[in-house]
Amino acid sequence: MNMNKLRYSDTISDDHIRRTHPAFRLIRYLVWLFSPKYKVSGIDNLPEGPAIIAGNHSQMFGPIASELYCPGRHYTWCISEMMEKDKVAEYAYKDFWSQKPAISRPYYKLAAHLIPHLAEFIFTNADTIPVYRDRRVMKTFQITGEKLSEGARVVIFPEDYDEYNNIVHHFQRGFIHTAKYYYRQKGECIPFVPMYICPALKQIVFGKPIFFDPGKKTDEEAERICAYLQEAISEIAYALPRHRVTPYPNISKRNYPFNDKL
């Protein structure tokens, strides 16, 4: 398997430097410097031009790896609550730390209330697209469509808490509507690329894409595409050396599953 190891200069564009706050660029560099260095493989599976990349969340590792190592110009879907400081604490605790052992939860609740200003600063400077779950939802699709129209890739981590297998959790279906919106705007069928993020092996692997079919009902397409992506990510994981999979829920490490094929 061919793998590319990127230098830091390969992970940040001149345009990104011009658009972002110097303090954010420093934070980004420090994260890259002190976090594990990932090798990227399967880049030949990424189509030229716009695409939607769907991957396993791997807790915080997925978004960090996406920001630092996804090739080319890309934007990552980010839940809007993490970009609005008055909502960060409640969301962060519920989504990140509520499944931690009971004895440690008070500490995580404290941490959740310490990060709102920093979280808002980071996520509004990073190449992110806010994901709204209220009346502003169309704004998410509009921004996504604009970025795709500019030739960028969009990275989405659509896992929910319902377990699919020992590799991924079931994908939420709503992100497939982005392809329908894009087709109406551009008349083009967007590809969806599976991505497996493996913190244990410090690897990111891209699989072969599947294309949106506008001739089918959107609900049927959502089922077909999500089933393919879940299976493709799982098969990538099964083909790698034995390792513990970092699951979407932030559970104790001793409960992380292995990538043994069931």
pLDDT digits (tens, 9 = 90+) for 67-90: 999 999 999 999 999 988 899 888
Averaged pLDDT for residues 23-39? 91
The pLDDT confidence band at residue 183, using thresholds 50, 70 and 90, is very high
pLDDT digits (tens, 9 = 90+) for 197-239: 999 999 999 999 999 999 999 999 999 999 999 999 999 999 9
Residue 14: what pLDDT?
63
216/233 Cα distance (integer angstroms) = 24
Structure tokens at 1: 């398997």
Give the number of C-alpha atoms closer than 13 A to the C-alpha of residue 202, restricted to the C-beta side: 8
The encoded tokens of residue 254 equal: 């001793």
CB 154 within 8 A of CB 246: no
In the chain, DSSP finds a helix count (H) and a strand count (E) of 9, 11
Give the Cβ contact number of residue 151 at 10 Å. 12
What span, in angstroms and rounded, lies between the C-alpha atoms of 157 and 231? 15
The tens digit of pLDDT for each residue in 99-145 reads 777 888 888 889 888 898 988 899 989 999 999 988 899 999 999 99
Q: Please indicate whether residue 16 or residue 232 has the higher confidence score (pLDDT).
A: 232
Tokens of 170: 């079931």
**What's the whole-number mean pLDDT along residues 2-31?**
75
Contacts of 162 (CB under 8 A, 6+ apart): 169, 170
Q: Where are the domains of the chain?
A: 14-80+128-197+220-255
Q: How far apart are CA 136 and CA 139, in angstroms?
A: 5
Compute the mean pLDDT over every residue in the chain, rounded to the nearest whole number. 91
Q: What is the model's pLDDT at position 230?
A: 98
- Locate 126 and state its tokens: 């990073």
- What is residue 19's predicted lDDT score, i.e. its pLDDT? 74
For residue range 42-68, list pLDDT tens digits in order. 999 999 999 999 999 999 899 999 899
* 203-206 and 191-198 strand pairing: antiparallel
Q: Report the run of H or E that residue 138 belongs to, with start and end.
A: helix 137-149
Q: Is the pLDDT of residue 15 over 70?
A: no
Nearest Cα to Cα of residue 97 among 237, 262, 228, 251: 251
3-state secondary structure of 192: strand
pLDDT at res. 5: 64
Give the pLDDT band (50/70/90) at residue 9. Answer: low
What percent of the chain lies above the pLDDT cut of 90? Answer: 68
If DSSP codes are grouped into helix, strand and coil, which group holds residue 72?
A: coil
Judged against a pLDDT cut of 60, whether residue 1 lies above it is answered with no
pTM of the model: 0.90
Residue whose entry in the numeric block shows the structure tokens 């879940």? 230
Instruction: Check residue 129 and give left, alpha or beta (phi > 0: left; psi -120 to 50: alpha).
Output: beta
Residue 16 reports pLDDT greater than 70: no
Token pair belonging to 184: 């109406």
